[in-house]
Structures are given as C-alpha cells and as structure tokens.
Amino acid sequence: MREQKPQSGSDFILAYEDSADRVPVLMIHGFPLNNTMWDEQVAGLGHMTRMITPDLRGHGETEATDVSPYTMEMMATDCMNLLDFVGHKGPVVVAGLSMGGYIAFEICRRFPERVSGLILAATKASADTEEAKANRKESARVALAEGVRPVVDGLLPKLLAPGTYDEHPDLVADLEEMMLAVSAEGVAGAQLAMSQRPDSTGDLQGLQIPTLVVHGTEDQLIPVSEAKAMAEGIPGAKLALIEGAGHMVNMEQPVAFNEAVQEFLDSFYEE
C-alpha cells in the first residue's frame, strides 16, 4: 500500500495501490510452444506480478524470420527489446522453462543489469552433446522438408510425466495444438539455436541474484540431476522438486508450481 497527498496543499493522505508496483516477471516459454503455456501462472500469480510473456520468433503469434539459423543471442535480444517496448527499463525476474531457461542464461550473460532474479524451470546449464546436436539438425531438416507434425509426434509423449499423459488427455490436446501451430521455420530456427548454445555451467557461481530452480521429478527430457547440479552451483539458489510432474511442470502441477514461485517472489516484497 502506498500513501500520498493527492495534491500539494491538500490536508489528507490518500492510500492507493498501483499494479506497477508488482514484481515484473518475464516468462519465456519452452520449445516448440507459446506463451499460453503460462496461462495458469498468469491466472494464479497475476495479483503479485506484472507478467510479460512473449511468443518467441516463429512461435505462437510471432512471425517467423528466415532460418539462418536463430541464435540464443537473437532470442535474448528480442526479449530485451520487448521490455523496452512495453516501457520496462529496470530489471525483471526472468523465468524460463527449458529452452526459455537457456535464453535466460543468455540474458544473464549479455544483459545482467536487466535481471533481478531467476526462475529456472525444467532446464539445465549444460550444452548439447554431439549426438544431441546432430538430432536437432535432423529435426530442423525434417520440419522444413515435411512440416512440424513428425517433430511434434516424436516430442509430445516425452513432454509429460507418463501419469499425466494417461490421465489428462485435455492437457495432451492443448500441448499438441500449441506445438502444431508453431511454424516450420520456428521449429528449425529454435532447434539450431539450441544446438549452438554455450555451456552455462561456468556462469552459475557468478549468478549473484535470487534464484529458484523448479523441476518435475518425472521429467523425461531433462533429468532431475541436472536441476540439482544447477541449484548447487548457483549461490543461495532454492530448489523446488515437484513430485510426479514431468517436463511441463508448470502446466502439469500448476498449484504446486505457483506455490513455489509465490514463496520465491514473496522475498522480493520483504526487501
């Protein structure tokens, strides 16, 4: 609650709230998805945050650019340009899921002054192995030659915990729709960008900002051990393991995810 004299010379104090006081959070979606993957967070945490949720280039409603390929630097810069555009010049909490986390690391390297905190969900600091790089190159080729359907069919079952996949056909359908709507250029561009991303492990120790690492215990794409290593490497980082959730931890267990994020963001109001 803020208090202010509404006019100079007035004899009473007017109390008010301004949503601009909420903690600003830049929410960066995973691959190959769009910003609606954060719907449960916008609904559940909007009372305490200003959420800025871009669709990355080639994803959701953002146009694709030519695949030349995309880079982490491009996508990190796109996000910073968006903050400028919406008039947010100060630092934000950067939240990224999976590919969004890789972009968050790039933002920390290039624009550290814009980051007041980090939420790293279902992501990892390590770079791709040579095998993973080759797989991404092939996936980019397939997307451009045959469309995104084969890429979606291969990835979709791995995005969710087996239990979620069986018991929540609604969630499976939502994810499938989101993925099929991504352009072939978006899929190819993002795959090539991820394959070239640097290893962020060496950056962890230097991250002197409040950090929350959130991970599902049944993530089939990124093992929990990666999240534990990341949380151990970042000074003071908190680790929230969400039991039974897979890679799409925020969509599979929105209540537990939001509780962890709310607790983390509470500390920004206590300072």
> What is the C-alpha separation between 138 and 91, in angstroms, rounded?
37
Please name the residue that has the structure tokens 């929990």: 224
Q: How many CB atoms are closer than 10 A to CB 186?
A: 27
Taking CB under 6 A as the rule, does residue 30 contact ligand MLT? Answer: yes
CB of 19 to ligand MLT, least distance (A): 30
Taking CB under 6 A as the rule, does residue 31 contact ligand MLT? Answer: yes
Here the tokens at position 42 are 């916008």
Taking CB under 6 A as the rule, does residue 250 contact ligand MLT? Answer: no
Here the tokens at position 94 are 């950067």
CB of 43 to ligand MLT, least distance (A): 21
Q: Return the number of the residue (226 or 261) whose C-beta is nearest ligand MLT.
A: 226
Using alpha carbons, list the distances in angstroms from residue 31 to 10, 183, 270: 54, 12, 34
Q: Return the number of the residue (211 or 250) whose C-beta is nearest ligand MLT.
A: 250
Taking CB under 6 A as the rule, does residue 58 contact ligand MLT? Answer: no
One residue of 98, 183, 195, 211 binding ligand MLT per CB under 6 A? 98
Q: Return the number of the residue (31 or 264) whose C-beta is nearest ligand MLT.
A: 31
Here the tokens at position 131 are 């095998």
Whether 75 and 98 have beta carbons less than 8 Å apart is answered as no
CB of 130 to ligand MLT, least distance (A): 15
Q: Return the number of the residue (144 or 221) whose C-beta is nearest ligand MLT.
A: 221
Three-class secondary structure of residue 214 per DSSP: strand
CB of 102 to ligand MLT, least distance (A): 7
Taking CB under 6 A as the rule, does residue 99 contact ligand MLT? Answer: yes
CB of 155 to ligand MLT, least distance (A): 7
CB of 221 to ligand MLT, least distance (A): 5
Q: Return the number of the residue (116 or 196) whose C-beta is nearest ligand MLT.
A: 196
Taking CB under 6 A as the rule, does residue 221 contact ligand MLT? Answer: yes
- CA count, 13 A, side-chain hemisphere, 169: 0
Q: Which is it for strands 14-16 and 238-242: parallel, antiparallel or unpaired?
A: unpaired
> What is the C-alpha separation between 249 and 240, in angstroms, rounded?
11
Using alpha carbons, list the distances in angstroms from residue 250 to 44, 80, 147, 217, 261: 11, 23, 28, 13, 10
Query: Residue numbers of the site for ligand MLT (CB under 6 A)?
Result: 30-31, 98-99, 194, 221, 247
